[in-house]
Amino acid sequence: MSAVPLWVARPAGASAAGWLRTVDHKEIGVLYIGMGVALFALGGIESLVMRAQLATPNARLVDPELYDQLFTVHGVTMMLLAVVPLLVGFANYLVPLMIGAPDVAYPRLNALSFWLSLVGAIVVYFSWIAGGAPDAGWFSYPPLAERAFAPGPGVDYYILGLAVNGAGTIIGAINLAVTILLMRAPGLRISRLPLFVWMTLVTSFLILGAYPALSGGLVMLFVDRQLGGHFFDPTAGGQPLLWQHVFWFFGHPEVYILVLPAMGMVSEVIPVFSGKPIFGYRFVAASSVAIGFLSFSVWAHHMFAVGLNEFETLLFSVTSMLIAIPTGVKIFNWTATMIGGRIRLLTPMLFAIGFIAMFVIGGLTGVSLAVVPLDLQTTDTYYVVGHLHYVLFGGTMLGVFAGAYYWFPKMTGRLLSERLGRWHFWTAFVGLNLTFLPMHWLGVQGMARRMWTYAADTGWGPWNFVETAGAFVLAVSMAIFALNVVRSLRGGAIAGDDPWDAFTLEWTTTSPPPPENFRTLPAVTSRRPLWDRKHPEMRDAS
Amino acid sequence: MRPPAEAIGTLALIVGAIAVAIFIGVEGALVYAVWRYRTSRVSTPARFDRNTRLELAWTAAPALTLAVVFVLMLGTLRDIGAATDAQLRIRATGHQWWWEFDYSGIVTANEMHIPIDTAIDIELASVDVNHSFWVPELGGKTDMIPGQINHLRLLTRRPGVYLGQCAEFCGVEHAWMRIRVVAETKEDFDRWLATQGSPATASGDGARVFQSNTCVNCHAIRGTSARGEAGPDLTHVGGRATIAAGVLPSDAASIRAWLVDPQRYKPGAFMPRVPLSDADLDALASYLGSLR
């Protein structure tokens, strides 16, 4: 075994050219994850600059132009360029292994979707050195995003970058959906799919429904800006609200695109570390499908303040409340899985429990946003910023870390350090609560979103300072994780095939897996084929 | 009819209490599970993995809770709905980055006065990009969207000063687009409105400086030939508490500092730096401050 483990065992060995032309799903998965990590770091640095600027009232660390670029690119990065590749990367690596397939359905298309995604991200970031980054928000509302009010090239880079990135994401989703539907091992019925695969399947369909809406909107915005169109220009009969409908028709499913795979990850981790099968498998899977459908019917809850009529207001309030039901079902099922189990509090499980604990907060504040009168007070304030970061950092990112600690040994053959892992978890837990909890009451007190500074007489200074301190605690936390990864790659404990006493097919092959993934496949007669192999006397009923 | 902010506050307390109860229940169950089923207390885990009745129960319980919340919400919505009983109409128009308030032809900027105990219908408009009118202690926010008129119902029982803020990102100086609402008795309000309706009376050296420079291209002072519309109406600017949508107080020293270098205080604002002699600056600042 070499000092630096190979990400995947490949006969020719890793080389730059090899990475460029690879069509292996595991290597493309690693490329996606690398892209996601790099962009997550960039988006994180952007947020640290913003938090430093907001630490005290009337600060002048950055000017408003730069601040607007920072929050726009931070949003675009975290919503589209960093976390989607991270999740797609894990799906790319893991789905074929979890369903007993040698690769994805279309390996070359897989490479194309990664490179399109990466090029799109590069186009967005290229704007920083090409005349200015986009500065109209990640939501890029016209008329502010029209040329009359945003004459620089930033919004054009946003349009082009997201269109290209989106094409990659759409192609990737087709590939994953086809793979899951057609390439499962014999005996692995849909009703036996690991829940991470289930949620990846639902996510793929969400991408297929949502991303084309964004692409269409981007084309319209491009026509307005570059070809003299008037889709969103009220001075020529256009309708600014059309963009908001199109954008949020994409934007709200996007939130579930970011959350569902992380829910899938904790749905794998919790049963294994509780030593029990998942409680209510059918309800967990079906609730994902319900969330998937409902997510396309809630978009206008982002728009309660735009002057919707009474029917629209009530309709979107009801649908937005309904989506809390399948979400709650998942929380209850994860908890019930732990009850009666034997809970091993190792790092993956710590993060999975942290995911539930924090996601509950984001979920409850989310329901408050469906209650229209409350939304009218809190929308477009820091309350929403707090809410969405509990969902996407407290939720998605803690879930991704659970998945990262869980599957890193499979991908590299090495275990991550438990001691650094606990440091990572607790600093992340403290940091995210310090950063995002005070946002709720600052928002209610009147702090609107996207303000580059605020007056001292508002009294918002002290809590903003706390938030900034929390953000730097989070930065330290991320550095601890990076240290853990680097140290383990150099000399972490050897993992073996099945370090966690797990249940699913990916743990039956070597760590890292061979190019063809499996030399032999166990017979699949239940949801836990590896459990069945290890405990032939207590096999699961099919 | 109840003041909208009060109605929303009551609803927030009820929904908040329900949310806190759920929070304690769910997090409590989680902590209990981790503590009770830790490795040192369990030798062999159980194997159960389903209970359909339980599943149906925890699907139905949230649904019922949400139904209750929805019904409560309907009542609050009635209280905050558009005013059909409006006794006063104010047209509020968003500009990058200031507010224009039009009381049936009497125009002022950035500081809105309202009478207490009076149902008010605010017509919300925008001349450029989306803005959002929001004074938290008076009620929820409503967006200002170019090409359409939105309505917001306001009603308050307590006199006082209420601070607000543009809540929809509207460009570089979104942050310095503050609203100041002064709620006062009907008599005080009528007196204020009469003052606002009268033309400016102050004159002197500062008036000459104002009239002979580019100020008049953007600003109006009724009673003079200045009729610019791009910037805030200054007819009674000295009577407002702040200038530049809440950036600085409106005393002569602050006005002078603003005139010397607006970009220092509100970088990105459209107010240019007008090169003036020290004497002209003094005269102009004291003139503007005296426009009460």
**pLDDT tens by residue, A36-74:** 999 999 999 999 999 999 999 999 999 999 999 999 999
- For chain A, the domain total comes to 1
**Residue B234: per-residue pLDDT:** 97
Across the interface, of B46, B77, B166, the residue whose CB is closest to A341 is B46
Contact in structure between A79 and A254 (CB atoms under 8 Å): yes
List the one residue out of A382, A359, A379, A358 whose CA is nearest residue A368.
Answer: A379
What number of CA atoms fall less than 13 Å from residue B256's CA on the CB side?
Answer: 16
Kindly calculate the radius of gyration of chain A based on its CA atoms and give it in whole angstroms. 23
Q: What is the 3-state secondary structure (H, E, C) of A465-530?
A: HHHHHHHHHHHHHHHHHHHHHHHHHHHCCECCCCCCCCCCHHHHCCCCCCCCCCCCCCCCCCCCHH
pLDDT at A145 over 50: yes
* pLDDT value, residue A16: 82
The three-state secondary structure class of A378 is helix
CA distance A220 to A428: 40
Domain contains A232? yes
Q: Do A239 and B7 touch (CB under 8 A)?
A: no
A vs B, Cβ pairs < 8 A, gives 239
Chain A residue with Cα closest to B32? A339
Q: What is the arithmetic mean of pLDDT over A324-349?
A: 97
pLDDT tops 80 at residue A542: no
Q: Residue A497 falls within a domain, yes or no?
A: yes
Burial environment of residue B201 by CB neighbours within 10 A (0 to 12, 13 to 18, 19 or more): exposed
Task: With respect to residue A147, please indicate whether it lies within any of the assigned structural domains.
Answer: yes
pLDDT at A393: 98
Residue position matching structure tokens 């929904």: B15
Which of A282, A360, A452 has the CB atom closest to B23's CB atom? A360
Say yes or no for a CB contact (<8 Å) between A361 and B23. yes
The gap between the terminal CA atoms of chain A, to the nearest Å, is 39
**Chain A residues in contact with B47 (beta carbon < 8 A):** 276-277, 538
A 320-349: CB under 8 A from B: 321-322, 324-325, 328-329, 331-333, 335-345
Q: Is the predicted pLDDT of residue A476 greater than 70, yes or no?
A: yes
Whether pLDDT at A359 is above 90:
yes
Query: For residue B220, what pLDDT is reported?
Result: 96
Judge whether A29 and A87 are in contact, CB under 8 Å. Answer: no
Q: What is the pLDDT of residue A17?
A: 85
CB contact under 8 A, B268 and A64: yes
pLDDT at residue A1, as a whole number: 38
The nearest alpha carbon in chain A to B73 belongs to A371
CATH at A264 = 1.20.210.10
Q: What residues make up the domain containing A214?
A: 21-538
Report the C-alpha gap between A530 and A534 in whole angstroms: 6
| Phi and psi based region of residue B168 (left: phi greater than 0; alpha: psi -120 to 50; beta: remaining) | beta
pLDDT of residue A14: 64
Q: Is residue A4 part of a domain?
A: no
Q: Identify whether A134 is part of a domain.
A: yes
Q: How many CA atoms lie within 13 A of A42 on its CB side?
A: 23
SS3 B88: strand
- As a whole number of angstroms, the distance between CA A11 and CA A386 comes to 48
Q: Is residue A8 part of a domain?
A: no
> Token pair of A222, please?
């491009």
Q: Classify residue A12 by burial, with Cβ atoms within 10 Å: 0-12, 13-18, 19+.
A: exposed
Residue A5: the pLDDT is: 43
Listed in sequence order, the residues at least 6 apart from B88 whose beta carbon sits closer than 8 Å to its beta carbon are B103, B114, B115, B118, B119, B120, B121
Residue B113 has which token pair?
């006065």
Q: Output the six-digit token pair for B8.
A: 């929303």
- Judge whether residue A81 has pLDDT over 60: yes
**Please, what are the averages of pLDDT over each run of 10 residues along chain B (292 residues)?**
92 97 98 96 93 95 97 92 83 98 97 97 97 97 97 95 98 98 98 96 91 96 94 96 96 96 96 94 96 92
Chain B hits for A343, Cβ within 8 Å: 33-34, 37-39, 42
Residue B53 C-alpha, separation from nearest chain A C-alpha, in angstroms: 11
> Shortest Cα distance from A129 to chain B (angstroms)?
20
DSSP-derived pairing of the beta strands B120-126 and B88-95: parallel
List the single residue in A with minimal CA-CA distance to B62: A325
Q: In chain A, count of helices (H) and strands (E)?
A: 18, 0
Q: Does any domain span residue A10?
A: no
Q: Which two tokens stand for residue A457?
A: 């007489």
CA distance B156 to B139: 9
Sequence-distant (6+) residues with CB within 8 A of A440 are A365, A382, A383, A386, A387
- Residue B212's pLDDT is 94
Percent of chain A residues topping a pLDDT of 90: 95
Q: What is the pLDDT of residues A275-307, one digit of tens each?
A: 999 999 999 999 999 999 999 999 999 999 999
For chain B, domains (ranges, CATH) are 4-80 (1.10.287.90), 89-195 (2.60.40.420), 205-289 (2.60.40.420)
A2 domain residue, yes or no: no
Residue A509, amino acid = T
Secondary structure E strands in chain B: 88-95, 98-103, 106-109, 111-115, 120-126, 131-133, 142-144, 150-154, 160-165, 178-184, 242-243, 248-249
Distance, in Å, from the CA atom of A277 to the CA atom of A271, rounded to the nearest integer, reads: 5
Which of A233, A364, A500, A539 to mutate against chain B (most B CBs within 10 Å)? A364
C-alpha distances in Å from residue B34, one per residue of A143, A394, A402 = 51, 19, 16
Backbone angles phi, psi at B164, to 5 degrees: -140, -170
Chain CA centroid to CA B258, Å: 23
Average pLDDT of chain A to the nearest whole number: 96
Residues A146-174: what's their mean pLDDT?
Answer: 97
The model's confidence at residue A522, banded by pLDDT at 50, 70 and 90, is confident
Per-residue model confidence as pLDDT tens digits over B89-141: 999 999 999 999 999 999 999 999 999 999 999 999 999 999 999 999 999 99
Which tokens go with A487?
């140290």
